[in-house]
Amino acid sequence: MKKFVTGILGSAAMVLMSAAAGSAATLDDVKAKGFVQCGVHTGLAGFAAPDDQGNWKGFDSDFCKAVAAAVFGDPEKVKFTPTNATERFTALQSGEIDLLARNTTWTLSRDTSLGFNFTGVNYYDGQGFMINAAKLPGINSALQLSGAAICVQTGTTTELNLADYFRANNMEYNPVVFQGFDETNAAYEAGRCDAYTTDQSGLYALRLTLANPDEHVVLPEIISKEPLGPLVRQGDDQWFDIVKWTLFALIQAEELGITQANVEEMKGSDNPEIKRILGQEPESKIGAMLGLENDWVVKVVAGVGNYGEMFERNIGQESPLKIARGLNQLWTKGGLQYAPPLR
């Protein structure tokens, strides 16, 4: 009996080891094809959208480039797969993409039953509402929207939060539901609904695309926590670590004052922490532990800048969106962005 049980346990272990080995090859696959395949939004200003030449720009697409820089030393070795709210998960589960960076909220179900690992929070957001103030004068709070028709994208946490908010406040509403982002936007601009709800960052991005943006007002209420972040498939700890520590490196670089302009100069710094994260310590293993070159952080910052630079040029004060850092400030400045030690 003992031999029988031992045999079963041994067989189970072999199956688990085989499964792990079969799924833990993302870095090898990425290197073999020569680029990172990254799932992004179909087109959200400031986060991920192609310009007139077809080049992807934005906060999320820059993160994809950062991962490419970590792996290849070249931020351009990335290809983008535009996905809608429902396609994004299938694309990641199937292996069509290596990484998803698409305004995706970190939730328990996505982290467990869908088989994903979130690699951190690159943007702390919250769901809000936008109205056309010219058509709804006097409305200055979401609590005045009882009975309103509200445009919302299906297959999102947004749809669930909307139902929760109106139920909790004993209000009625008429959901006007669409699957696609562009369809939802078009319906709102055409006046098919009284209000539009999505992440507040998305509302500011959408507002810029409307014919008369000054007529549209984002209401003050934040009705949910929306920690947005990149995610990968479960079962490949090495790839999970690479994507996770790329995010942490961007944050830590900002904290230490390492920028796209000075990163080469900083390689000669006497600061032991700067020397360590830039791979300049004798016998450094900061890259080897991830399967990367020891100067991978240098290549990331040289390619896209630090976290603050990415934020400001894409969605912050240097961008048309002009979103305040708020919770996305560094922890040293009263925000929530905090990186574990790179050592």
Confidence of residue 199 (pLDDT cuts 50, 70, 90): very high
pLDDT digits (tens, 9 = 90+) for 298-336: 999 999 999 999 999 999 999 999 999 999 999 999 999
The mean pLDDT of the chain is: 92
Sign of torsion over alpha carbons 27, 35, 102, 22? negative
Token digits for 225? Answer: 């926590």
Q: Residue 90: beta bridge partners?
A: none
Kindly tell me if the per-residue pLDDT of 43 is higher than 80. yes
- Given a cut of 70, whether residue 123 has pLDDT beyond it is yes
The average pLDDT across 196-224 equals: 93
Residue 10 has pLDDT above 50, yes or no: no
Compute CA distances 342 → 132, 252, 269, 289, 339, whole Å.
47, 8, 16, 11, 8
CA distances from 295 to 40, 237, 276, 281 (A): 27, 21, 10, 10
Q: What is the pLDDT of residue 24?
A: 59
Tokens of 301: 């910052």
pLDDT (average), residues 42-51:
94
pLDDT digits (tens, 9 = 90+) for 12-38: 333 333 333 334 599 999 999 999 999
Lookup result for tokens 């970190």: 106
Is the pLDDT confidence value at 3 over 80? no
Determine the pLDDT at residue 23: 47
CA–CA separation, 313 vs 42, rounded Å? 20
DSSP string for 87-139: HHHHHHHHTS-SEE-SS-B--HHHHTTT-EEE---SEEE-EEEEEETTTSTT-
Q: With H, G, I as helix, E, B as strand and everything else as coil, classify residue 173.
A: strand
Could you tell me the strand order of the sheet in which 116-118 lies?
78-83, 36-41, 99-100, 231-233, 116-118
Examine the pLDDT at 4 and tell me if it is beyond 60: no
Query: Residue 272 pLDDT more than 50?
Result: yes
Q: Are 92 and 230 in contact (CB under 8 A)?
A: no
- Which pTM does this prediction carry? 0.87
Percentage of residues of the chain with pLDDT beyond 70:
93
Distance CA 85, CA 181 (A): 8
DSSP string, 33-79: HTSEEEEEES-BTTTBEE-TTS-EESHHHHHHHHHHHHHHS-TT-EE
The CA distance from 62 to 65, in Å, is 5
Summarised one tens digit per residue, pLDDT across range 240-250 is 999 999 999 99
pLDDT at 180: 83
pLDDT for 7 beyond 50: no
pLDDT of 104 reads 94
In the chain, the DSSP E strands lie at 36-41, 49-50, 56-57, 78-83, 99-100, 116-118, 123-125, 127-132, 148-153, 173-178, 195-199, 216-218, 226-228, 231-233
Taking residue 223's Cβ as centre, other Cβ atoms within 10 Å add up to 21
Nearest to 52 by CA among 43, 61, 39, 60: 43
pLDDT at 195: 98
- Quote the pLDDT of residue 179: 86
Higher confidence at residue 9 or residue 114?
Answer: 114
* Section 127-139 average pLDDT: 95
User: How do residues 86-114 score in pLDDT, each as one tens digit?
Assistant: 899 999 999 999 999 999 999 999 999 99
Average pLDDT over residues 183-204: 94
pLDDT confidence band for 62 (50 / 70 / 90): very high
Supply φ then ψ for residue 341, to 5 degrees.
-65, 135
